[in-house]
Structure 1
Amino acid sequence: MIWLTWRQFRGPALAGVVALALLTACLLHLGFDIRESYDNHRAQCAGLADCGPQLSRFSADHENTLLYLAAVLGLIPGLVGMFWGAPLVAREVEAGTQRLVWSQSVTRRHWLAVKLAVVGLAGMVLTGAASLLLTWAAGPVDQVADNRFSTILFGSRNVAPIAYAAFALVLGTIIGLLVRRTVPAMALTILTFVVVQFLVPNVVRPHFLPAEHRTVPMTAQAINQARSLGSITGAPVVKGLTVPDAWVTDVSELLTRTGEPLDEGIFDGCFTDAPATGTAEGPYGDTAVCLAEHDLHVTIAYQPDSRYWSFQWLESAFYLLLAGLLAGFGFWRLQRRPS
């Protein structure tokens, strides 16, 4: 059964090997180029008390390229599920060829288990190799930028993408088992995977571990450091606040000294008709000064960077658990409806 599965899968496997070889050459070249650039920028720091500006330029020179690569490589698990997982069962059920295997003393569950094991292992190896290559290539930039919890970066580095591939492969296989048609199964697989990949970082990941909290006074300087003020609903909120060496998962509304949310009328007044001071600086100018006069603060929930590897392993376990549950459902479904 393993040999039969390999013979059926060798075409896609060969395509995966060729793609990985090309990707390896690209990332090796990029990695050595990044390291050379890092050494050059470090050399410019000789005799300087602060190397921050040089390292910031180094990070800016490469961050866009690495961001695009992370986004592209983040799709690899989805493509594994779409092109390897979805047709794995759907193609055979659509053609009826699975009956020939079942008539040769191979049980239905054994048939499905071998397919999942062989193709799933190949998908995990391919994704893991791509992820580790990108992690190595981007190492100096990641160290300088210190933004490892970024949604795109987190999902394209280290071990988590391996678990994504396992989940995507099983997801595609089970969808193919249910839909029983290859093309619709492929479309549903990539759509479902993208939805899950959106929900987990934004809804599930922040709650893997209890967050730390701190209260931050909203002085004019602090408000000017925010990425944006307000929302489409008019709520008195600030967005884009940061905590050193941490991933900010939630920021409360602007709160008064008593802990009550700032009145929207006051917020709108400062936002649209702040008294002119003539001395205000920063992106929000007099608006920031006006808001600061109301003695405001926010409560920030965050995850320290020291928990990065805990989150990598927890998210990997979460996706592997989902894959296991889907596989269990597939075995049950196959036994209930074998034809």
Structure 2
Amino acid sequence: MIWLTWRQFRAQALFGLGALLVIAAFLAHLGADVRDGYDAYRAVCDDGGDCARARSQFESAHKNPLLFVAAGLGLVPAVIGTFWGAPLVARELEAGTHRLVWNQSVTRRSWLLTKVLFVGLAAVLFTGAAAALLTWAAHPFDEVAENRFDTVEFGARNVAPVGYAALAFTFGTVSGLLLRRTLPAMAVTLVGFIAFQFFFPNVVRPELMPPRTAQLPMTAQAINEAKNLGSIAGGAVIDGVRIPDAPDAWIAETSPLRTANGATLDEAAFGDCLDSPPETGADGTFGDTAVCLAQNDLHVEVRYHPGSRYWTFQWLETAVYLALSALLTAFGLRRIRRRTG
């Protein structure tokens, strides 16, 4: 049964191996480039130069390339589920070739379990290897940027992608078992798993551990250190603030800008500072706008997780995905025993 599974899977396996070699070559080059940039940044700091500027240049040079690579590799589990998982059973049920095996001494459960374990292991190894290569390539940048909790970066580094691959693969396999048609199963797997990847980080992940809370004064300096002011929907909101005592913390939720009495800053006042602040000649990311807002004695309330919880979240999320994968496999084994056709 293992030999038969290998013969059916070898084309995908060889393609995957080739793709992994290409990924490895690209990430080796990217990792060397990141390390060269890091060495240049550290040389400026060690020589007493403008360390803040060198750091900003280092981050600007490598942020987007690493983000694009992480986003691409973040799609690998969905692609594996779609092209390895969904056709695994659906193709045979659709063509009727499964009957050749079921009429032999191999039981239906053994047939399905062998396929899931053999191809699933290949999916996990492929994704784990790609994640390990990216983790190595991005390591100097991650140490400087302190953004390991960002959604895209978190899902493409270390052990979490292994759990994603296992779940995507079993979800695709079970979709094929239920739908019995390859193309519909592939479509359901791709859309369903990508939707789940958006749902889990935003809804479930922040609650895997009880968050801590803090109130942060929004001085002009604090506002300039944030990533964004305002939003498409409007409102006195700020995004990407940092906790001074825990710069690597994950801010899971940030309240709107609040005045000293706890009320949300008036949208008109926020808009005036955003669009036409008094000219003070202030520098920084938001310049005069930051000075204008700071005069309102503002603060925000945040729910956050300290950076020391990073590995706890990695293992917890991986465990959740592996548990869901095991449940799907058990469901598939139960379902196939009842199937007669």
How much has 1:176 moved relative to structure 2?
0.7
Residue by residue over 1:38-75, the C-alpha shift from the partner in whole angstroms, topping out at 9 and shown as x without a partner, is 33443344431764433432333222222221111111
Question: How is 1:257-296 mapped onto 2 (pairs within 5 angstroms)?
Answer: 257-264=260-267, 267=270, 276=278, 288=290, 291-296=293-298
Contact 2:44 2:50 (C-alpha < 8 Å) held by counterparts: no
Residue by residue over 1:154-175, the C-alpha shift from the partner in whole angstroms, topping out at 9 and shown as x without a partner, is 1111111111110110011011
What is the SS of the residue equivalent to 2:156? coil
User: What is the alpha-carbon distance in structure 1 between the residues aligned to residue 288 and residue 78 of structure 2?
Assistant: 47
Query: Which residue is 2:5 aligned to?
Result: 5
How much has 1:278 moved relative to structure 2?
5.2
Q: If the length of structure 2 is used for normalisation, what is the TM-score?
A: 0.89
Query: Which residue is 2:27 aligned to?
Result: 27
Contact 1:108 1:338 (C-alpha < 8 Å) held by counterparts: no
Cα gap change, 1:110/1:254 in structure 2, threshold over 3 Å: closer, same or farther? same
Q: Name the Cα RMSD after superposition.
A: 2.4
Cα gap change, 1:67/1:224 in structure 2, threshold over 3 Å: closer, same or farther? closer
Query: Which residue is 1:142 aligned to?
Result: 142
- Structure 2 spans left out of the alignment, 5+ residues: none
Q: If the length of structure 1 is used for normalisation, what is the TM-score?
A: 0.90
What is the SS of the residue equivalent to 1:155? helix
Cα gap change, 1:193/1:333 in structure 2, threshold over 3 Å: closer, same or farther? same
User: What is the alpha-carbon distance in structure 2 between the residues aligned to residue 140 and residue 266 of structure 1?
Assistant: 41
Query: Which residue is 2:328 aligned to?
Result: 326
Query: Which 4+ stretches in 1 moved above 6 angstroms?
Result: none
Letter in 2 for 1:62: H
Query: Which residue is 1:299 aligned to?
Result: 301
Query: Which residue is 2:157 aligned to?
Result: 157
Query: Which residue is 2:251 aligned to?
Result: 248
Query: Which residue is 2:209 aligned to?
Result: 209
User: What is the alpha-carbon distance in structure 1 between the residues aligned to residue 275 and residue 47 of structure 2?
Assistant: 48
Using the TM superposition, name which of 25-34 and 99-108 deviates more.
25-34
Query: Which residue is 2:310 aligned to?
Result: 308
User: What is the alpha-carbon distance in structure 2 between the residues aligned to residue 231 and residue 37 of structure 1?
Assistant: 33
User: What is the alpha-carbon distance in structure 2 between the residues aligned to residue 20 and residue 331 of structure 1?
Assistant: 31
User: What is the alpha-carbon distance in structure 1 between the residues aligned to residue 178 and residue 252 of structure 2?
Assistant: 37
Query: Which residue is 1:175 aligned to?
Result: 175
What is the SS of the residue equivalent to 2:203? helix
How much has 1:134 moved relative to structure 2?
1.2
Residue by residue over 1:139-165, the C-alpha shift from the partner in whole angstroms, topping out at 9 and shown as x without a partner, is 222222221111111111111111111
Contact 2:223 2:290 (C-alpha < 8 Å) held by counterparts: yes
What is the SS of the residue equivalent to 2:236? coil
Cα gap change, 1:150/1:296 in structure 2, threshold over 3 Å: closer, same or farther? same
- % identity of equivalent residues: 56
User: What is the alpha-carbon distance in structure 1 between the residues aligned to residue 209 and residue 46 of structure 2?
Assistant: 42
What is the SS of the residue equivalent to 1:174? helix
What is the SS of the residue equivalent to 2:252? strand
Residue 108 (str. 1) matches residue 75 (str. 2): no
How much has 1:259 moved relative to structure 2?
2.7
User: What is the alpha-carbon distance in structure 1 between the residues aligned to residue 298 and residue 211 of structure 2?
Assistant: 22
Using the TM superposition, name which of 157-166 and 22-31 deviates more.
22-31
- Structure 1 spans left out of the alignment, 5+ residues: none
What is the SS of the residue equivalent to 2:42? helix
Residue 99 (str. 1) matches residue 115 (str. 2): no
How much has 1:289 moved relative to structure 2?
5.0
Query: Which residue is 1:39 aligned to?
Result: 39
